[in-house]
Structure 1
Amino acid sequence: MFSFSRLMLTLSLPLVTLGITPLLAQAADFPTKPVKIVVPVSAGGSADKLTRILADKLSAKWGQSVVVENVPGASGTIGAARVAKAKPDGYTLLQTGEALTLNALLIKTLPYDSATAFQPVIKAVVNPQILVVNPKLGIDTFAQYIAVSKNQPGSISLGLPTSGGIAQIAHEILNRQTGGSVNFIPYPGGGPAAVDVIAGHTNATLITLAAVTEYVKSGQLKALAVTTPYRSDALPEVPTMAESGAPGFSVESWQGYLAPAGTPAAVVNKLNQDLVAVLKDPDVKAHLETLGYGVAASTPEQLATTLSEDHQRYGKIISEAGISIQ
C-alpha cells in the first residue's frame, strides 16, 4: 500500500525539531540555478506539452532556465528512476500521473520503491482520455467501434501511448464490459502513437485528450468518445463512452509533479506555490482548458491522497479483471 501521507509527515518532522529558519531561507532563494523536469515519455504528447507550457512560465517567474528532458522507455520507469536517484534539493522534478501507481501494480521489479522514492509536489491537471481513429477507417461512432471490436476481434490496431498506462487499463476495462478485443501496440509516448494513427500505420489510439485536441479540430483524427462521465469543453461535441454504449464507464487521468524523497518541505512548498500561481494565471488556465485540461492545482497533501486512492482503486480493478502487462 502506498504511504505518501506518512512519508510527508516524516519529512516534515525535522522542521519542527530543528527549526525552520534555514530551510525557509533556502526556499526564499530557490531556485538559484536551472531546474530540470524529467518527462518520462517521448516529446509531442500531453505530458510534454503541459510541462513545456509550465516550464516557460516558471522560467520567466524565476529568472532561471527550466529544462524539460524527455526520458522515454520501460513504461516511464527509466525517467522515474533517474529522478528517484537525483539529489533531493528541488532542482530535479518528475512529471507523472497515475502511471506511477500502475507501474508499481503491474511491474514486478522496479529500480525504485514507488511508495518511498518520491515527494508529492502538485497534481497540476486532470483530463479525459479520448478514443480517436483515422478518419479513413470507416468507423464514425463509438457504437460502431465496439461492434467491430466484438465481431472482428483483434482487427482494430490500437496504439498505446505506453504499455501498462491508463489508456491500456481503461481499454481493458472497456473490453471486459463490452466483450470486445483490439490489437494493442505500445509506443514510447502519446506523440508517436497519435502520429502513426494519422499516417494510417495504426487504426486508433486511446490517449489524453489534450494530446490530440488540435488534430481532432483539424480533421486529422476522428474522435469517437471520452472516458470521463462528463464531456470536455474543449471538444463538447464528442460524447462520453457512458452515454454511447458503455453505461457507467468512468476513467479520469491526471498529470502532476514529484520531487525526490528528502527534498526539504520548505522547497516543496515553494515549488507548489509557484506552480499553483502559474496554473491559476488567467491566460495559462484558459490556454490549458482550450487544450482539454482541467486545472487541479492541488497541495502536496492532496496529491498524496490521490496517489493513495489510485493505488486502492486500480489495484482492485487490476486484481478483479485479471489485468497483466506482458
Structure 2
Amino acid sequence: MQKRFLFRSLSAALITSFATAALLVPTVYAGEADVYPNKPVRIVVPVAAGGSADKLTRTLADKLSQLWGQSVVVENIAGASGTIGANKVAKAAPDGYTLLQQGEGLTLNAILFRELPYDAKAFTPVIKAVVNPQILVVNPATGIHNFAEYLARAKAKPESISLGLPGNGGIAHVAHEIITQETGAKVNYIPYPGGGPATLDVLGGHTDATLITLAAVTEYVRAGKLRALAVTTAYRSPALPDVPTMAEAGLPGFSVESWQGYFAPSGTPSAIVEKINRDIQTVLKTPEVRAKLEDMGFKVAGGKPADLAASLQTEQPKYALAIKTAGISLR
C-alpha cells in the first residue's frame, strides 16, 4: 500500500537562521585559523553508506586529508530523514572538527517535521559543493523502457510500481509527488535510510524503481544493470547525455535540481569556516577531483558561505508550496 504523509506545520525559523548564521559566529585571530586543523576532522554523512552523498564526501575527504596532513573521517549516521546525524553535529563542539554533509534535506526537514531535535540556529553554512539532477531508473526486468511507459503503467495500475525512496520526505519524494500531482501516476513508496540500500534493492529486483541522485547510479546505468528513464533537471547530464529530461519526455516545464554541501555547528569561528570553505574549493577545482565528480554526474558549485545561506532562503518557499500541495509530511 502506498505510504502517504499528511502535511503538518512549517518550521521557517530554521531556514531564516541560516542566512544570518555566518554573521553571528565569533571571529578568531588569523593565526588560529592558520594552524587548523591540528587533529582529525570528522564529517558526518546523515545517510547510509554507498549513496551519492557518501561518494562525494569520501572523495573530498581523501583530498582534504592530503591537503591538511590530518585524517578526515567520514561517519555515516543514518535515520529519521537525516535528523539523527544532523543532531550529532548540532551538539558537537563549534571548533571546525565536526562537519555535516547536507543538502536541500535541511530545508525539507524544517518544513516537514513538527519538531526537530536541534535548535533553529544549529548550523553555520560552509559551502555548496555540487548540484546535480535526480534520475528515475528502473530494473530492466520491469519491461519499462521509457518515461512515457512508466507514467502509463502507474496511471493504469496505481501503486503497481514499487519505488524505493532514499529517505522519507527527501527531494526524490517531493519531486515524485509533483509528478503525481501533474500526471495522476501513483506508485508504491518504499522508504530507505539512503540511496545505497535503495539502489541495491532495485538492482536485486526487490523493488522496481528509484528516483535518486544521478551520481549514485551512473555506473549501473552505463553497465546496463539499471535503465534510466529521465532526469529531473531542465538540462541533461553530461555524465549520461542520452537520458532525456522529464520536460523532454512528457512533463513540460518540470525542473528539480538538488545539491549537496557542508555545514559546521553554529558558533564555529568565522575564520575557520572561511578556511574550510577555501580548502574545499581548492579541492573541488583540482582537475582530478572535478573530472571524477563530473563523471559521476555532479556539477561543481562552490561559492562563499553567504552564497549557501542565500540559496537556502530562496528554495524554502518553493519547496514549502510543493510539499503543501502534495500533502507530504513526516510524523
Q: Same fold (TM over 0.5)?
A: yes
Give the alignment partner of residue 227 of structure 1, picking from 201, 220, 232.
232
Corresponding residue number in structure 2 for 1:259:
264
Report the Cα offset of residue 35 of structure 1: 0.1
Alpha-carbon separation, structure 1, partners of 2:326 and 2:57:
33
Corresponding residue number in structure 2 for 1:84:
90
Change (3 A) 1:245 1:325: farther
- Tell me if 1:136 matches 2:150: no
Report the Cα offset of residue 273 of structure 1: 0.1
Give the alignment partner of residue 171 of structure 2, picking from 148, 152, 166.
166
Corresponding residue number in structure 2 for 1:188:
193
Report the Cα offset of residue 210 of structure 1: 0.2
Deviations 1:83-134 (A, max 9, x none): 0000000000000000011111111121013x41000000000000000000
Identity among equivalent positions (%) equals 65
- Tell me if 1:59 matches 2:73: no
Alpha-carbon separation, structure 2, partners of 1:107 and 1:323:
10
Corresponding residue number in structure 1 for 2:110:
104
Q: Give the stretch that moved more between structures: 310-319 or 261-270.
A: 310-319
Alpha-carbon separation, structure 2, partners of 1:183 and 1:278:
40
The Cα RMSD (Å) is: 1.0
Contact kept in structure 1, 2:24 and 2:267, CA below 8 Å: no
Contact kept in structure 1, 2:94 and 2:267, CA below 8 Å: yes
Report the Cα offset of residue 231 of structure 1: 0.2
Corresponding residue number in structure 1 for 2:156:
151
Give the alignment partner of residue 5 of structure 1, picking from 3, 19, 27.
19
Report the Cα offset of residue 7 of structure 1: 2.4
- Tell me if 1:121 matches 2:126: yes
Contact kept in structure 1, 2:154 and 2:185, CA below 8 Å: yes
User: Any runs of at least 4 consecutive aligned residues in structure 1 with deviations exceeding 6 A, and if so which?
Assistant: none
Contact kept in structure 2, 1:23 and 1:267, CA below 8 Å: no
Alpha-carbon separation, structure 2, partners of 1:122 and 1:222:
33
Give the alignment partner of residue 50 of structure 2, picking from 19, 44, 48.
44
Alpha-carbon separation, structure 1, partners of 2:322 and 2:194:
24
Contact kept in structure 1, 2:45 and 2:75, CA below 8 Å: yes
Corresponding residue number in structure 1 for 2:8:
none
Report the Cα offset of residue 323 of structure 1: 2.5
Question: Aligned letter for 2:264?
Answer: A
- Tell me if 1:72 matches 2:86: no
SS state at 1:263 partner: coil
Alpha-carbon separation, structure 2, partners of 1:159 and 1:101:
21
Contact kept in structure 1, 2:218 and 2:296, CA below 8 Å: yes
Report the Cα offset of residue 8 of structure 1: 2.1
- Tell me if 1:28 matches 2:34: yes
Contact kept in structure 1, 2:127 and 2:263, CA below 8 Å: yes
Give the alignment partner of residue 304 of structure 1, picking from 292, 309, 327.
309
Question: Aligned letter for 2:322?
Answer: I
Contact kept in structure 2, 1:128 and 1:253, CA below 8 Å: yes
Q: How many residues were matched structurally?
A: 317
Deviations 1:274-300 (A, max 9, x none): 000000111110111011000001210
Give the alignment partner of residue 241 of structure 2, picking from 209, 216, 236.
236
1:191-210 equivalent positions in 2, closer than 5 A: 191-210=196-215
Contact kept in structure 2, 1:5 and 1:305, CA below 8 Å: yes
Corresponding residue number in structure 2 for 1:321:
326
Corresponding residue number in structure 1 for 2:254:
249
Structure 2 gaps of 5+ residues are: 1-11
Question: Aligned letter for 2:117?
Answer: P
Alpha-carbon separation, structure 2, partners of 1:153 and 1:175:
11
- TM-score normalised to the size of structure 1? 0.95
Report the Cα offset of residue 239 of structure 1: 0.3
Structure 1 gaps of 5+ residues are: 16-21
Q: Which has the higher helix share?
A: 1
Alpha-carbon separation, structure 2, partners of 1:122 and 1:156:
37
Contact kept in structure 2, 1:23 and 1:264, CA below 8 Å: no
Report the Cα offset of residue 318 of structure 1: 1.5
Contact kept in structure 2, 1:125 and 1:295, CA below 8 Å: yes
Question: Aligned letter for 2:43?
Answer: I
SS state at 1:257 partner: strand
